[in-house]
Structure 1
Amino acid sequence: MTPLKITLSAAALLLAFSFPATADEMPDEQYVLDLGVGVMAKPRYPGSDEVIAVPFPIISVGRFFVPGIGQVIDGDERVKRFSLYPSFNFNGRRDSSDSNELEGLDDVDWALEVGLGAAYRHDWIRGFIEVRQGFNGYSGQVADFGLDFIANPTEDLQLMAGPRAGWGSDDYMDTYFGISGKEAADSPVYDKSYDAGAGFHSVGLAATASYDLTEEFTFHLRGGWDRLIGEAADSPIVKEGSANQFYGGAGLSYEFGFSLD
């Protein structure tokens, strides 16, 4: 998981490839969606030691019908499955007025990340990789790697936890962790420039818990810790803040279904 951003990858639309259902197996509802919202406490910006509360969306797909093909997502609870899914992230704007440590640095506009994820689950373990392209705030690429250990203590409760790692391209790293010569000259905090190159920028742990309150409503808890590493950890911005990045939040989602026939 990449650090310090409104993480939509955790709420990506899971488009698992499965065999089309036959007419006898066709569910009454062709589309089943799980939509909700939550609140998360997270660092103010990458490398910050200040925490702010931000909203985060909860979006998932339980069933999805493609005309002429059938149910490409059928709600099947198989535990041995390869899946592909779109991955999204949104990085909020970073203003020099956000913190004394940012005084003299250029503002960083909001950035939308769009890409693709691939995962494979075998029984109680799931591994995934997500690759995204950044737009607006930066134009580079990022990749997230993760491994989840899955448990279902009860029929209504699912727990997932495991290690994470994040990678960023030159443009991503320099946008959030670099300092230009002009910025160093304008800043009362930093006295020299810093160029952050491409590489792994974080390792950490993440955990989620989902509990079905009713057939429609689900309560979600999520949290984790990222440790900035490499050239991200060496950035003067991070040294003025913190390499340890903690986050946690809770939300509620509602499941509903419909058909277009």
Structure 2
Amino acid sequence: MRIPVVLLASQAFLLSAGVASAEDRQYPWSGDWYLKVGATGFLGPEYEGSSKTMLQAAPLVSMGKVGSSVRFSSRNDNISYALVDHVHFRAGAVGKLIFERDEDASDDLKGLDPVKFGGELGGFAEFYPTDWMRFRAEVRQGIRSHHGVVADITADAFTDVSETIRISAGPRLTAATSDYFDAYYGVNAAESAASGLGTYDPDGGIHSVGLGAAINWQATEKLETGAYAEYRRLLGAAADSSLVNERGSRDQFLVGVSATYRFDFTLP
């Protein structure tokens, strides 16, 4: 079983930027908070675009201010800090950690330049057109791992089938610029000679479309468990890569389970 630390950032780190008045002499961070920690185990691709799957595990961490307008969060949400937080709309900064991808992840990657440790920084916006649906968009600029821009757009319908069980599902779309595709899917002449893959110089565009679904069970007041499944179809520059065509697959499946425990605390 491999433990990809990169997925630490796949759980939302939800911080509500509350503005306190000078009269009560509180700081923006003052108030009641929660911290959720846990883990997820899943069966997913060895690397982005792989045709091989393996059992993996990752930690889950999320944090939020009690009383914020967050009504729904997804495993697809990245680390975010809400600068605007209203009942139907939230927006702010977002970030994602990216850890190195090299031939240790899969024999398919031998001869290819590794993706360096780094991250992505940008902004997010989400809104609730109804009480049972959320739309969210993230736009992030790569730092060190790649120099491209990545955009994720998701929509999730959710409903509580009981006081403790919530189900959700919806479409996903990802797009990126050529610099992102070059880091993950490009194959230059030197890499082609070392790996045996055909050379490939990608353009930007749509990366993938897909669907995700989850069921969450509030086992106790503080313990939450869940199961999820996701399918993505690689498109455009990702689908046309020699790495995908010769060794991988355009179809990406993932299924897993998770559990988190909530700790409550107060900051002065």
TM-score > 0.5, shorter chain as reference: yes
Residue identity opposite 1:163 in structure 2: P
Percent of paired sites with the same residue = 31
Which of 195, 199, 208 is equivalent to 2:201?
195
Residue identity opposite 1:182 in structure 2: A
Residue identity opposite 1:95 in structure 2: D
Residue identity opposite 2:91 in structure 1: L
1:57 corresponds to 2:60: yes
Which of 153, 156, 160 is equivalent to 1:148?
156
Deviation at 1:113, TM superposition (A): 2.3
Q: Per-residue displacement from partner, 1:19-73 (whole Å, max 9, x unpaired)?
A: 979x9xxxx962223232222322111111122313141314142xxxxxxx6x2
Contact 2:16–2:64 (CA<8 Å) still a contact in 1? Answer: no
Q: Per-residue displacement from partner, 1:48-101 (whole Å, max 9, x unpaired)?
A: 1122313141314142xxxxxxx6x27789x95111254333334222354343
Following the alignment from structure 1 to structure 2, what is the Cα–Cα distance between the partners of residues 126 and 237? 35
Contact 2:13–2:61 (CA<8 Å) still a contact in 1? Answer: no
Please name the residue that 1:30 is paired with: 32
1:94 corresponds to 2:97: no
Shift in alpha-carbon separation, 1:140–1:129, aligned structure 2, 3 A? same
Shift in alpha-carbon separation, 1:8–1:34, aligned structure 2, 3 A? same
Report SS of the residue matched to 1:154.
coil
Please name the residue that 1:258 is paired with: 265
Which of 41, 44, 48 is equivalent to 2:50?
48
Following the alignment from structure 2 to structure 1, what is the Cα–Cα distance between the partners of residues 39 and 122? 22
Following the alignment from structure 2 to structure 1, what is the Cα–Cα distance between the partners of residues 70 and 15? 11
Q: Per-residue displacement from partner, 1:202-259 (whole Å, max 9, x unpaired)?
A: 0001112221111111112222011100111010101121111111222211112222
Q: Give matches, 1:1-261, under 5 Å.
A: 6-7=6-7, 10-15=10-15, 30-52=32-54, 53-63=56-66, 73=68, 81-121=88-128, 122-188=130-196, 190=197, 192-239=198-245, 240-261=247-268
Following the alignment from structure 1 to structure 2, what is the Cα–Cα distance between the partners of residues 168 and 215? 40
Q: What root-mean-square deviation, in Å, do the aligned CA atoms of Structure 1 and Structure 2 show?
A: 3.1
Shift in alpha-carbon separation, 1:94–1:17, aligned structure 2, 3 A? closer
- Structure 2 runs not aligned, ≥5 long: 25-29, 73-85
Report SS of the residue matched to 1:48.
coil
Please name the residue that 2:81 is paired with: none
Contact 2:69–2:87 (CA<8 Å) still a contact in 1? Answer: no
Deviation at 1:134, TM superposition (A): 1.9
Contact 2:9–2:97 (CA<8 Å) still a contact in 1? Answer: no
Shift in alpha-carbon separation, 1:207–1:140, aligned structure 2, 3 A? same
Report SS of the residue matched to 1:237.
helix
Following the alignment from structure 1 to structure 2, what is the Cα–Cα distance between the partners of residues 140 and 247? 25
Deviation at 1:5, TM superposition (A): 9.6
Following the alignment from structure 2 to structure 1, what is the Cα–Cα distance between the partners of residues 191 and 44? 26
TM-score, normalization: structure 2?
0.79
Q: Per-residue displacement from partner, 1:162-207 (whole Å, max 9, x unpaired)?
A: 000001122111100111111112223x2x4211111111000111
Residue identity opposite 1:215 in structure 2: E
Residue identity opposite 1:124 in structure 2: W
Deviation at 1:18, TM superposition (A): 8.0
Following the alignment from structure 1 to structure 2, what is the Cα–Cα distance between the partners of residues 138 and 144? 16
